[in-house]
Chains A and B, each alone.
Chain A
Amino acid sequence: MQTASQSRLVWSLLSLAALLLLWEISSLLAASRLFPGPLVVLDTMLAEFQSGALAHHVGATLARVVVSFTVAMLIGSVIGLALGRSANADRFFDSWLIFFLNLPALVIIILCYVWFGLTETAAIIAVAVNKIPNVAVTVREGARALSRDLAEMAHMYRFGWWRTLRHVTLPQMAPFFAASARSGLALVWKIVLVVELLGRSNGVGHQLHVAFQLFDVPMIIAYAVAFIIVVQLVEIGLLQPLEARAGRWRR
């Protein structure tokens, strides 16, 4: 087991190194200001890090991701549970869900900024509204699959609503929450950048916007790489341990 994960790590490092090498060689061949190699990007990243700009903008983006992700998960889960439990509500709201699922993210963002102004609240709402239908759809599947046997058991043993929720309903929903959190986080990251690009004065999206206007390609790639690193840290440091913990009862 240990050696298997170790060899996987070695392979990942090797393949990353190969990618970096390929990148460096092609940038040398291109010899263009618009296609910098990894060393130039690393320099830019370090400069941004030392000036504190990197932490400031990545922090702002991270904060927006956390808030809008939490809001979307909460509201989406409540809607999904309600739709999964009530066939009538599901029949009625299904077309609403399809409408919002297919509404382009950009349209929601623009409308939010037009209606609520270029504010932080508008930005958060725009991201959350984009994400809520996806959460609702996944959680609805989970709510439909809830075991009737266990619900009857909880009723017989007088669990009450709180203990039923905590010990019977939520554990059954856990895989569905995890799935929507996974796909949700990936989506929220990307939409937050667009929201920042269109109407915020900080965050990774805003920096990308500035760098785009200056054609500062090393800056664009530096922030993109910093962003990827943060996303991966959240994935490995937070999501994967949580999932392992939720599934430890499995045979």
Chain B
Amino acid sequence: MSGCVRIIIDGKSWPAMAGRPRQPVLGEIDLTIERGSFVVLTGPSGCGKSTLLNIVAGLDQDYSGKVSFDPPDPAMTYVFQSPRLLPWRTVFQNVALALPEGDPRVSEIPELLARVGLADAADVYPERLSLGMQRRAALARGFIGKPDVLLMDEPFVSLDDPTARGLRQLLTDLWRRRPTTVLFVTHDRGEAVMLGTRILRLDGTPATVASDTSVALAPAGRTNADAVLEEQRRIFGTT
């Protein structure tokens, strides 16, 4: 499998505003992310993980550096930290809008909605759903287009344990079936070890890559709580 995402950042800072001086967020970062790898970004709150994701997504152009994709222009989706659903469209319509007009994969939406536990909510407007259900609809929207690059910003936060576990399993399945490059932001170290093939820790002001570790867990070990805990200790040190 060839191809990668290449991220070179010389620096990124927020412009001076309301009497506050210019604030550096990201320092020098040079990353090559292999195609099909599952990269987890961790680090303290506000250190710039989401900013890095926005830069990769192309939403934030105000930085010095360069993000390039090989092959270029991949199908990329982004599961944002907040659901960002269109409140005036039903759950089904929100997911369908992630596909190009007339895409036959619309027929796969009911099955996907069932897998995220929203089988009965397809025709409901998002504001009538709980935040957890809205998050799941946003996940379905991120998955339906079968992206080459999948960006996820704490997608499982505020979900109850069984739901989060089910959705992690769904994500893992999807990722195994297709060579998808995933960039996944989380604070949850267990989650990081369960899902990731590589864990990057950002830290400092401006933030740089403080550590870059491969996860040495076979697929079977990832569902084993003890194995996960042990790997977690190896990567993050004693908790």
Contact = CB atoms under 8 A, between A and B. Distances in A.
A159 B101 CA distance: 9
A152 B59 contact: yes
A177 B117 CA distance: 37
Contacts of B84: 149-150, 152-153
Provide the main secondary structure of the chain A interface: helix
A251 interface: yes
B125 interface: yes
Nearest to B89: A167
A176 to B, nearest CB: 14
Nearest to A168: B86
Contacts of A156: 57, 59, 76-78
B127 A251 contact: yes
B211 to A, nearest CB: 29
Nearest to A159: B97
Interface residues of A, number: 17
Nearest to A157: B98
Nearest to B126: A249
Contacts of B98: 157
Interface of A: 149-150, 152-153, 155-159, 163, 167-168, 171, 174, 249-251
26 contacts: A149-B80, A149-B82, A149-B84, A150-B84, A150-B86, A152-B59, A153-B78, A153-B84, A155-B58, A155-B59, A156-B59, A156-B78, A157-B77, A157-B98, A157-B145, A158-B100, A159-B97, A163-B97, A163-B101, A167-B97, A171-B86, A171-B88, A174-B88, A249-B87, A249-B127, A251-B128
* Top 8 A-B residue pairs of the complex, sorted by shortest distance between their CB atoms: A249-B125, A171-B88, A251-B127, A153-B84, A249-B88, A156-B78, A157-B98, A152-B59
Given A153-B84, A156-B78, 12 more contacts: A149-B84, A153-B78, A155-B58, A156-B57, A156-B76, A157-B145, A167-B86, A167-B89, A167-B97, A171-B86, A249-B127, A251-B127
